[in-house]
Amino acid sequence: MQVASLPLPPTQLPPPPAYRQPVLVTTYSHLPDRRLEAGDASMAYLRPGGALPGSDLEYGFEDRIERDEALEEHLDGMCWALRSHDHPERKGGVVSWRGMMTRIMTAPFEDREGWEMRALALGGSVYLEQWEEREGGQSSYKAKNEAQWALQGYMGYAYEAYATVPEAEDGPEGWSGTVNTNVQWCNVVRSAIGDVPILIGGEVDCVRAPVGAPNPGLDATVELKTNKVVDSERADRIFLKKLLKHWAQSFLLGVPTVDVGFRTDAGILESRHEFDTATIPDLAARGGAYWKPAPCLHFLYAVLSMLVRQVLPTDPVVTGAADGLEGGELPPAHLFSLRFTPRHGVELVSLGE
Ligand code: 0WD
Ligand code: CA
């Protein structure tokens, strides 16, 4: 049963609702064996000057350690980290991964890839997560991940290994050790778009601080990216499109710097460039990009406020369905599906309990 839908916004719009400066709530770390730990054990430090030009991004491919994608973690890590943070701001809003917010925000300019998410209300918040199976089809996430682990995807992780400070020097100069995708440092922030409070968790690549310094806060965080050297008009167009995703992703979490390493087809790092997240939209506009931030912010607000309006009233704690349950027993939650179709918009479908 479809309960609501939203078309994409027109291109001429009034000023968008404000996005509140994100405030760090807590951090947690996935260790090399994927175990969770509160705090900054997996926080990496940006190498002064960044990755060295000439670094071979194919190095270490055979030795990589991959996270077990068969384990479905949902929002578990973030909820675990928030278990002792019962902020009142958390109520009445949306809790999710930053990656989900990025997808919603960039949807007005996404003309190829659709997506589906699941939403439910519990204890005063809407929880939103990725949904991988689409209409009985194969899990697109798994397929994507296998393909991603081709050399191309690996080079992004290798760039992280070169751009951060090694714990022990082995391998080529600047290499900080075997790529292990179990290891993640996650920051949970609170913010709001217009009047909708949000709590988002996201992976942060590294911080700019002296090695061993305690967590310097969001202002010192850096997002690392790799890109092929931009040496043609076509490559330039592709890069301008990618800048939308880079901007949205870092803007949402309050990461002020995006460090892009430019590599050759053969995986050799040629140069790097630091972009200020805040000025990426102007830079992209000057470069002739077709995207603008305003429709993104309008759409994020429209979708999140639709979720709050439609999903929050089904909260079993609010409806009384949670009454009389034993501690630890989960009340029946009402599930919703949020689906995006490129060039059309999103629809919210009630799946029932
Ligand atoms: O459906 C799932 N199982 C998802 C889990 C979907 C999205 C995220 N996650 C988990 C991740 O395991 C991690 O704990 O959420 C956390 C990070 O989320 P995020 O920051 O919201 O993710 P996103 O902004 O989409 O991507 C940030 C980085 C990526 O780096 P680049 O530079 O390519 O954007 O997180 C990594 C990836 O390195 N990443 C993931 N790592 C493992 N499993 C995943 C994933 N599913 N998605 C992104
Ligand atoms: Ca990255």
Q: Quote the pLDDT of residue 144.
A: 58
The residue whose CA is least distant from atom 39 of ligand 1 is: 203
ipTM of this predicted structure: 0.94
Ligand 2 centroid distance, CA of 94 (Å) = 24
Please tell me the residue having the least CA distance from ligand 1 atom 11: 203
What are the average pLDDT values for consecutive 10-residue runs of the chain, which has 353 residues? Answer: 88 88 97 96 96 97 91 93 73 94 98 96 94 59 61 94 85 90 97 97 98 97 98 96 98 98 97 98 96 96 98 88 78 93 97 89
pLDDT for res 134: 47
Ligand nearest the Cα atom of residue 98: 1
First to last CA, the chain: 13
Question: Ligand 1 in contact with 99 (CB < 6 A)?
Answer: yes
Which ligand has the shortest distance to the CA of 181? 1
Q: Is 94 in the pocket of ligand 1 (CB under 6 A)?
A: no
Q: Whose CA is nearest to atom 10 of ligand 1?
A: 97
Which phi and psi (to 5°) does residue 226 adopt? -125, 155
Is the minimum distance from the CB of 28 to ligand 1 under 6 angstroms?
Answer: no
CA distance 34 to 11: 43
Distance 37 CA to ligand 2 centre (A): 21
Residue whose CA is closest, atom 26 of ligand 1?
99
Give the Cα separation of 91 and 195 in Å (integer): 12
Q: What is the pLDDT of residue 266?
A: 94
Is the beta carbon of 261 within 6 A of some atom in ligand 1?
A: no
Closest C-alpha to 227, from 255, 267, 276? 267
The string of DSSP letters for 259-319 reads EEEEE-TTSBEEEEEEEEGGGHHHHHHHTT-S--HHHHHHHHHHHHHHHHHHHGGG-HHHH
Q: How far, in whole angstroms, is CA 86 from its chain's centroid?
A: 23
pTM of the model: 0.92
pLDDT number for residue 139: 53
Residue 102, ligand 1, Cβ within 6 A: yes
